[in-house]
Amino acid sequence: MDPGFSVDDIAPIAILMDELRSEDVQLRLNAIHRISTIALALGPERARDELIPFLQESVDDEDEVLLALAEELGMNFEEYIGGGENAHVLLGPLENLCAVEEALVRDKAAESITKVSAVLSQAQIEQYYIPLLQRLSHGEWFTLRVSSCALYAPVYDRVAPPMQDELRRGFAGLGTDDTPMVRRAASKWLAPLVKKFAKQHVLTDGLAIYRRLQADDQDSVRLLTVDDLIAIAQALSPAEVKEQLLKQIRQTVSDKSWRVRYMAASNFNQLAETIGQDLVREELIGHYVQLLKDNEAEARTAAAGQIPAGFAKLLEKEVILARIVPCVRDLCQDSSQHVRAALANQISGLAPLLGKDSTIEHLLPLFLHLLKDEFPEVRLNIISKLEQVNDVIGIDLLSESLLPAIVELAEDKSWRVRQAIIEYIPLLANQLGKAFFDEQLGNLCMSWLGDNVYSIREAATVNLKKLTEVFGVEWAKIQIVPKVVGMGQHPNYLYRMTTVQAVSVISPSLTLDIVRGDIIDTLLHLSNDPIPNIRFNVAKALEVLATTFGNTPEGRQLVQQKIIPALEILKNDTDADVRFFATRALQSAHGVGA
């Protein structure tokens, strides 16, 4: 395998080995990143017999070096030691790395062991991998046992049933470990393991391990069992979920720790889709309302972010109106801006579920309220999702109700709010349509080109390019180009500068005919502007035109007849910056079509 450069091009192998032993951390780190080269130079046999044992002893090092080593050994390193039949040799140094104190190193080592396991045969797994797993699982140091939790799932379905029985027992022992960090790791890795279980073992071993972890006295353990709950529920029928998991579901969503409730709220849609519609209606709706009213803002934020995506789709319209909408109304007034922002990002998803009349009656007033929120992210989240509302209630009613609020935001005194609105204008344009946009928002978009804040003017030019892509070149020729060109005659140099910058940005989206007929003469006129900044930006704009259109016969004609002569003049300008950009542009112009 080619490491990127040949062995002949690198330092002698002895030097690289010396770097691995160096007292300089950076030298050792560099050497670790080149161990594939070292292995390639040594050859497979010597790499197995000399390099790997050396690396296995090199665990007394800086965490940065150990992290790099753990990563390198998981990057198809078996190819350097003789292929998959020798891959088990890599398990030795990786096992040692699983014992270090730094969690990042241990996690990377476990990840690399998992990658190595993918190329091991069943015989290698049983002869080398399983003993390693057992040593880690019964290790004296908790770091070993923590690392072992990640290593059960990758090989569970690749060993014989008697060995699977042993693996389930081993993992169950980790779930009752005296050390909370080990139990936390067991909670984290139970879900991937349960997905490999046969259903009968989910009902026995999987449920037993989960229930113990879900009742743990450490909330850091309990919060990770939400994924386990979902994994187990996915393996069971709705009736079995109701019989086996209902108690745990209730305990999780009402847990005394807000962190556990937050995790439950964050995964509520996935849980609802897993357990079946009947149980959602009978049981989960009440728990969801409880989370929407939670005492902790973090839990309310997570719950608000789940409203339409999956959970509400499982409910009848009447239930949504009776149970969910009143909570949504309260959340619009929530004291936490993060809760309101999460709600604003999701509330429009209720419109398709409620239909036109109910959306107008119940949701539209809430949209308007959120659009006037003092927190910009709330207002922007509403605007970004208007398409769903438009599809339900129609553009006329939407524009009548919401457009004034959008215009108010577009003229906000905070330039950051104005900039954020500009970024959403192409989305709005696509939703509102060409005619409505021209009538209601066209002038507003052009007014941003004259804003006193540079970032707004820059965003406005990018906005014009995106609008051209939305509405087409012919629309741009009529609605954008004349206004941009007209600004080139303005007595304020900022407007003239904006014309040049806008031309640079939007020209690649236009046609050569438009550039030749409506734009090039304005640029040539501005090449004589008294302001040097405008002249060197003209040079940059001419370079854009040359490289964009100079690869066709008509484009080369434009370059030869108008662009190059103008740049030749600018090349001799009195201003050094103008001369620099003109010279660079000339090189590009002469190079096109070559």
Got the DSSP string for 304-362? HTTIIIIIGGGS-HHHIIIIIHHHHHHHTT-S-HHHHHHHHHHGGGGHHHHHHHHIIII
Tell me: pLDDT of 372 over 70: yes
Mean pLDDT of 35-44: 83
Residue-wise pLDDT tens digits, 523-540: 888 889 899 998 989 999
pLDDT for res 7? 42
Query: Which of 388, 386, 383 shows the shortest CA–CA distance to 418?
Result: 383
Q: Count the domains in the chain.
A: 2
d(CA 94, CA 105): 10
Domain that holds residue 112: 8-120
Tell me: pLDDT of 224 over 90: yes
Query: Which of 372, 301, 364 shows the shortest CA–CA distance to 337?
Result: 301
Which range in 66-70, 258-262, 284-288 is most confidently predicted, on average pLDDT? 258-262
Residue where one domain finishes, among candidates 95, 120, 145: 120
- Within a domain: residue 358? no
Residue-wise pLDDT tens digits, 472-523: 888 888 888 888 888 888 888 888 888 888 888 888 888 888 888 888 888 8
pLDDT grade for 191, boundaries at 50, 70 and 90 = very high
- Within a domain: residue 519? yes
Cβ atoms 592, 585 nearer than 8 A: no
Q: At what angle do helices 130-137 and 142-149 cross, to 10 degrees?
A: 130
Q: At what angle do helices 225-235 and 207-214 cross, to 10 degrees?
A: 150
d(CA 549, CA 434): 28
- Within a domain: residue 488? yes
- Within a domain: residue 166? no
The answer, as to whether pTM is greater than 0.85, is: no
Sign, Cα dihedral of 51, 57, 61, 63: positive
Cβ atoms 213, 231 nearer than 8 A: no
- Within a domain: residue 417? no
Q: With pLDDT > 90 as the criterion, what percentage of the chain qualifies?
A: 23
Report DSSP state, residue 237: -
d(CA 98, CA 89): 15
Report DSSP state, residue 509: G
Tell me: pLDDT of 226 over 70: yes
- Within a domain: residue 514? yes
Q: How far is CA 34 from CA 30, 38, 72, 83, in A?
A: 7, 6, 9, 19
Query: Which of 539, 579, 485 shows the shortest CA–CA distance to 547?
Result: 539
Residue-wise pLDDT tens digits, 287-310: 888 999 989 999 999 988 888 655
- Entry field: residues in the chain: 594
d(CA 558, CA 553): 9
Residue where one domain finishes, among candidates 79, 99, 120: 120
- Within a domain: residue 196? no
Residue where one domain finishes, among candidates 120, 139, 156: 120
Query: Which of 501, 506, 513, 574 shows the shortest CA–CA distance to 539?
Result: 501
pLDDT grade for 4, boundaries at 50, 70 and 90 = very low
d(CA 185, CA 188): 5
d(CA 210, CA 202): 10
- Within a domain: residue 307? no
Residue-wise pLDDT tens digits, 72-105: 888 888 888 888 888 888 888 898 888 888 899 9
Report DSSP state, residue 120: -
Question: CATH code at 570?
Answer: 1.25.10.10
Q: Which of 56-65, 161-170, 179-188 has the lowest mean pLDDT?
A: 56-65
